[in-house]
């Protein structure tokens, strides 16, 4: 269904080129004259959004690759260098990280839209299968990208996912060793993941070309599911679809910008700000949210090989959808029974996602099994039978005839989401029944869209760090120069140099080949209190005082439903500082029933309650020049604010730029809305 060959090159040069390479004609027939059904709704704009997001991911990814070091010793630090030192590095990394999540969000909308309107049916089977291949490629790319920062979640995701292959009978172990390039996940693994993570997006781009090619051969499906019959049923791609796609794309960018600028770590895991440690698995490992339903299916089945097979089958089964659905009618609009089963299926997928994030125990496992069974039943039982037994509604004669009727799918989706949310609340609250106390939510100067650090507070916090924390804890990602940088405690370069000069830095070798100590310079990093981890453990009764550079982002506490949804709108991102502030004052007498080993203290906020650090702050321990009270309450907030700055030094710049970007996007979206209305006015008239 290619467009009419109406392209007439203008000017001698264009004519010269067109005779030799008809690229102008190709672009014109594909993206200008290409006829689109006139009744496409906004769910159809997600294909364009996905192309846009692929572009965003490739561009930000190429740029990040210019600064990233794929080596187990440097990967984590190079990512932190991007966040701290590279110009706009924090923006590029947050765009890339949140962009991947938004990419998956868009692909899920796109897939569910295809399912609702039967876009996979004859003659679009191959188009759909190419889509399933794209989705698999996206999953592989997303997974390998998640490994690259080499935090705890990266490392253990790499371990768990590659171990899926060990389920293969006989050759499983050899396959896993082959994937790792070693006897465990290590440097060769990281290197090959980096290489493949760079390669796969271009493979995706190639398959996208095939996907769009196939689309342009068979034409777009539409909400009625009947093919366009005359010119009256279609509109030219440009300007009609272009302006409509652009409008929703900008709206989508507003959501993306909301996360990038205000909730950049909302969809990530705090544990991934802890450098990879092959000796310790995080207590609660879950994949990124977009893999959760499949993770739930994996865990629902108590047999290793069967679990992995079910996981794979749950994705591969999508490719067979065109033949499993036996109904002759495409759109759910004219399939009243299928429509209900479709929404049930959506709920099941979301439910599986929720279960995937829960611990694999008790009722959760039983629920996972039920939903897993239903997931497969939808494809293998419901769809084949519906085609036979369902009584469909009469189809309209043409698209233009149906334009008068409007779908209410959006409202139904919203109602379902609300119902789902409500149904989850009590269960979630039940799951919250851990005995670890919830840190109280404090007021922070840097919270909310207009928040910024309080310089005096950061200076007080730094004083506490220097006089108390620095005796045991390193701050190795920070340099003395950071103290004088924009958005920080606001010291002058001379003051930062003075602080630096008071530190002893190991340097060398000198001309005689010997190491020596010299006074610190602003460019030096904060020296660690102990020469190595073993020394730090030995001096602290066997416990390793963690580095504090990113601790405010590496610590969190479980928010649970519905709070994590509400947090999205209130921009609550201060779990880390809240936890730290609570922890440093959370010391109590241990309950009688608890047997405390020597050197351990009881802390009501610390997971497990047994903490190796004795109560670190006593009232009066640090005196402030600005007359702030020398109380533990004051200390706990100041040190937490300081550590938040240490973990996120560009927060001020981030929120300032975020406001500008938000204003721009809202104005742009408004203009596009009116442009769209104008362009479409003659269609609706």
125: enclosing H helix or E strand = helix 125-147
Q: Of the candidates 63, 127, 286, 399, which one interacts with another protein according to CB under 8 A?
A: 63
Given the complex with another protein, which of 511 and 625 has the nearer CB atom? 511
State in angstroms the smallest separation of the CB of 677 from another protein.
Answer: 9
Question: In sequence order, which residues have a C-beta less than 8 Å from that of residue 13 and are 6 or more positions away?
Answer: none
Binding residues with another protein: total (CB under 8 A): 30
Q: In the complex with another protein, which residue's Cβ is closer, 210 or 666?
A: 666
Based on the shown chain and the rule CB under 8 A, indicate whether residue 667 belongs to the binding site for another protein: yes
For residue 674, state whether it binds another protein (rule: CB under 8 A). yes
CA 574 vs. chain centroid, Å, equals: 18
Start-to-end CA distance of the chain, whole Å, equals 27
Does position 84 interact with another protein (CB under 8 A)? The reply is yes
Neighbours of 368 (CB within 10 A): 25
**Which has the closest alpha carbon to 44: 315, 236, 248?**
248
Residue with smaller CB distance to another protein, 274 or 661 = 661
DSSP string, 94-105: HHHHHHHHHHHH
Q: How far is the CB of 47 from another protein (least distance, A)?
A: 20
> Could you tell me the smallest distance in angstroms from the CB atom of residue 313 to another protein?
41
Q: Which residue among 198, 602, 664, 680 contacts another protein (CB under 8 A)?
A: 664
Q: Which is nearer to another protein, 67 or 192 (CB)?
A: 67
Residue 550 or 632 having the CB closest to another protein = 550
By beta-carbon proximity to another protein, the closer residue of 485 and 567 is 485
- Based on the shown chain and the rule CB under 8 A, indicate whether residue 511 belongs to the binding site for another protein: yes
If the CB atoms of residues 419 and 667 are measured against another protein, the closer one turns out to be: 667
Minimum separation from the CB atom of position 58 to another protein (A): 12
Whether the ω angle into residue 239 lies within 30 degrees of 0, i.e. cis, is yes
The Cα–Cα gap between 385 and 388 comes to 5
For residue 521, state whether it binds another protein (rule: CB under 8 A). yes
Burial class (CB in 10 A: 0-12, 13-18, 19+), 620: exposed
* Other Cβ atoms within 10 Å of 195 Cβ, number: 12
Instruction: List the one residue from 85, 227, 558, 567 that touches another protein (CB under 8 A).
Output: 85
Contact pattern for another protein over residues 117 through 156, marking x by CB under 8 A = ----------------------------------------
Which residue, 178 or 674, has its beta carbon nearer to another protein? 674
Of the candidates 17, 22, 31, 67, which one interacts with another protein according to CB under 8 A?
67
HEC readout, 610-657: EECCCCCCCCCCCCCCCCCCCCHHHHHHHHHHHHHHHHCCCHHHHHHH
- Which of these ranges, 60-68, 119-127, 189-197, 618-626, lies near another protein under the rule CB under 8 A? 60-68
Question: Minimum Å distance from CB 198 to another protein?
Answer: 17
Q: Binder to another protein among 12, 13, 19, 87 (CB under 8 A)?
A: 87
DSSP state of 59: H
Which one of 89, 131, 201, 527 is in contact with another protein (CB under 8 A)? 89
- Does residue number 680 form part of the binding site for another protein (CB under 8 A)? no
Q: How far is CA 627 from CA 3, 460, 634, in A?
A: 76, 10, 11
Alpha helices, H only, 5-74 = 11-20, 23-31, 46-65
Per CB under 8 A, 77 contacts another protein? no
CB-nearer residue toward another protein: 230 or 681: 681
Which residue from 166, 194, 190, 195 is spatially nearest to 278, judged by alpha carbons?
A: 190
Whole-number minimum distance, CB 270 to another protein, in Å?
Answer: 25
- Is 91 a binding residue for another protein by CB under 8 A? The answer is yes
Where does this chain touch another protein (CB under 8 A) — which range of 23-31, 46-54, 477-485, 594-602?
477-485
Query: Alpha-carbon distance 445 to 193, whole Å?
Result: 40
If the CB atoms of residues 49 and 622 are measured against another protein, the closer one turns out to be 49
Q: What is the distance between the alpha carbons of residues 198 and 157, in angstroms, rounded to a whole number? A: 19
Of the pair 401, 485, the CB lying nearest another protein is at 485
Choose which of 522, 527, 586, 658 interacts with another protein (CB under 8 A): 522
The tokens describing 95, both together, are: 């765009």
Nearer to another protein by C-beta: 257 or 611?
257
Which of 33, 54, 75, 92 lies at the binding interface for another protein (CB under 8 A)?
A: 92
SS3 229: coil
Angle between helix 363-377 and 304-316 (nearest 10): 40
Stretch that binds another protein, among 30-38, 417-425, 555-563, 669-677 (CB under 8 A): 669-677
Q: Which stretch binds another protein (CB under 8 A): 120-128, 217-225, 393-401, 670-678?
A: 670-678
Closest distance between another protein and the C-beta of residue 36, in Å? Answer: 20
Taking contact as CB under 8 A, which single stretch among the options 77-85, 346-354, 540-548, 636-644 is the one that binds another protein? 77-85
CA distance 278 to 290: 25
Full 3-state SS string of 300-312: HCCCHHHHHHHHH
* 620 neighbors 610 (Cβ within 8 angstroms): no
Site string for another protein, 217-256 (x = CB under 8 A): -----------------------------x----------
Q: Where in 523-562 is the site for another protein (CB under 8 A)?
A: 523
Angstrom distance (rounded) from CA 360 to CA 366: 9
Give the whole-angstrom CA distance, residue 196 versus residue 182: 17
Does the footprint of another protein cover residue 685 (CB under 8 A)?
A: no
Q: Which of 73, 410, 678, 683 binds another protein (CB under 8 A)?
A: 678
DSSP of 540-608, one letter per residue?
TTT--PPP-TTHHHH------TTHHHHHHHHT---HHHHHHHHHHT-B-PPPTT--PPTT-EEBTTSTT
Applying CB under 8 A, among 86, 403, 412, 501 the residue interacting with another protein is 86
Nearer to another protein, 242 or 445 (CB): 242
Q: Which is nearer to another protein, 63 or 550 (CB)?
A: 63
**What count of residues does the chain have?**
685
Q: Which two tokens stand for residue 296?
A: 């739930």
The pair of structure tokens assigned to 354 is 């929720």
Q: Which residues contact 534 (CB under 8 A, 6 or more apart)?
A: none
* 110 Cβ contact list (under 8 Å, min separation 6): 46, 47, 50, 131
Asked if 59 is part of the footprint of another protein (rule: CB under 8 A), the reply reads yes
CB of 556 to another protein, least distance (A): 28
List the Cα angle 221/6/230 in 5-degree steps: 40
Q: Does 320 bind another protein (CB under 8 A)?
A: no
Comparing CB distances to another protein, the nearer of 177 and 675 is 675
Does residue number 12 form part of the binding site for another protein (CB under 8 A)? no
Tell me the H-state helices in 378-454: 383-389, 399-402, 409-431
Select the residue interacting with another protein from 13, 66, 170, 279 (CB under 8 A).
66
Q: Where on the chain is the footprint of another protein (CB under 8 A)?
A: 59, 63, 66-67, 81, 84-89, 91-92, 246, 479, 481, 485, 511, 521-523, 664-665, 667-668, 671-672, 674-675, 678
């Amino acid at each position: 269904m290619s467009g009419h060959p109406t392209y007439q090159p203008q000017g001698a040069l264009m004519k010269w080129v067109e005779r030799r390479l008809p690229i102008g004609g190709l672009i014109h027939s594909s993206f200008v004259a290409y006829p689109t059904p006139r009744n496409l709704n906004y769910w159809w704009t997600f294909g364009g959004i996905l192309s846009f997001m692929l572009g965003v991911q490739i561009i930000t990814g190429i740029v990040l690759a210019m600064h990233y070091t794929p080596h187990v010793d440097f990967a984590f630090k190079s990512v932190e260098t991007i966040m701290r030192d590279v110009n706009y590095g924090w923006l590029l990394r947050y765009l890339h990280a949140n962009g991947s999540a938004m990419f998956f969000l868009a692909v899920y909308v796109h897939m569910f839209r295809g399912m609702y309107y039967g876009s996979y049916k004859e003659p679009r089977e191959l188009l759909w299968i190419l889509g399933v291949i794209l989705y698999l490629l996206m999953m592989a790319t997303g997974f390998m990208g998640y490994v690259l920062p080499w935090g705890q979640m990266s490392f253990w995701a790499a371990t768990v996912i590659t171990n899926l292959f060990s389920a293969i009978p006989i050759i499983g172990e050899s396959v896993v060793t082959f994937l790792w390039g070693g006897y465990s996940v290590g440097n060769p693994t990281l290197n090959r993941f980096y290489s493949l993570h760079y390669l796969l997006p271009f493979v995706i781009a190639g398959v996208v070309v095939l996907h769009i090619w196939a689309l342009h051969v068979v034409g777009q499906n539409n909400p009625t599911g009947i093919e366009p019959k005359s010119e009256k049923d279609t509109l030219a791609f440009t300007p009609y679809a272009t302006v409509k796609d652009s409008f929703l794309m900008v709206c989508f960018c507003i959501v993306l910008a909301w996360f990038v600028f205000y909730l950049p770590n909302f969809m990530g895991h705090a544990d991934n700000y802890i450098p990879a440690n092959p000796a310790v698995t995080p207590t609660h490992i879950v994949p990124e949210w977009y893999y959760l339903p499949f993770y739930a299916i994996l865990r629902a089945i108590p047999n290793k090989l069967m679990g992995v097979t079910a996981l794979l089958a749950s994705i591969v089964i999508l490719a067979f959808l065109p033949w499993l659905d036996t109904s002759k009618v495409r759109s759910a609009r004219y399939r009243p029974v299928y429509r209900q089963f479709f929404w049930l299926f959506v709920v099941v997928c979301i439910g599986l996602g929720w279960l995937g994030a829960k611990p694999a125990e008790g009722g959760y496992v039983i629920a996972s099994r039920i939903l897993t069974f239903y997931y497969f039943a939808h494809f293998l039982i419901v769809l084949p039978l519906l085609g036979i037994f369902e009584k469909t509604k009469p189809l309209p004669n043409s698209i233009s005839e149906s334009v008068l009727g409007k779908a209410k799918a959006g409202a139904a989706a919203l109602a379902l989401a609300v119902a789902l949310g409500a149904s989850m609340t009590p269960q979630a609250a039940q799951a919250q029944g851990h005995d670890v106390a919830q840190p109280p939510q404090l007021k922070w100067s840097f919270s909310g869209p207009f928040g910024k650090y309080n310089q005096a507070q950061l200076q007080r916090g730094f004083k506490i760090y220097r006089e108390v924390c620095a005796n045991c804890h390193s701050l190795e990602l920070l340099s003395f120069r950071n103290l004088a940088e924009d958005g920080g405690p606001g010291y002058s370069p001379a003051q930062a140099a003075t602080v630096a000069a008071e530190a002893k830095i190991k340097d060398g070798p000198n001309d005689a080949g010997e190491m020596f100590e010299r006074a610190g310079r602003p460019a030096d990093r904060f020296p660690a209190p102990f020469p190595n981890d073993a020394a730090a453990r030995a001096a602290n009764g066997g416990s390793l005082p963690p580095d504090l550079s990113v601790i405010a982002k590496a610590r969190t506490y479980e928010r649970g439903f519905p709070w994590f949804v509400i947090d999205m709108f209130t921009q609550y991102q201060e779990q880390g500082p809240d936890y730290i502030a609570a922890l440093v004052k959370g010391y109590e007498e241990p309950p009688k029933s608890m047997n405390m080993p020597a050197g351990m203290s009881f802390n009501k906020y610390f997971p497990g309650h047994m903490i190796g650090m004795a109560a670190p702050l006593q009232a009066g321990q640090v005196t402030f020049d600005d007359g702030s009270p020398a109380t533990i309450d004051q200390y706990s907030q100041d040190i937490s604010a300081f550590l938040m700055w240490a973990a996120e030094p560009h927060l001020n710049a981030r929120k300032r730029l975020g406001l500008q970007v938000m204003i721009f996007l809202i104005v742009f979206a408004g203009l596009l809305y009116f442009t769209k209305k104008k362009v479409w006015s003659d269609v609706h008239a």
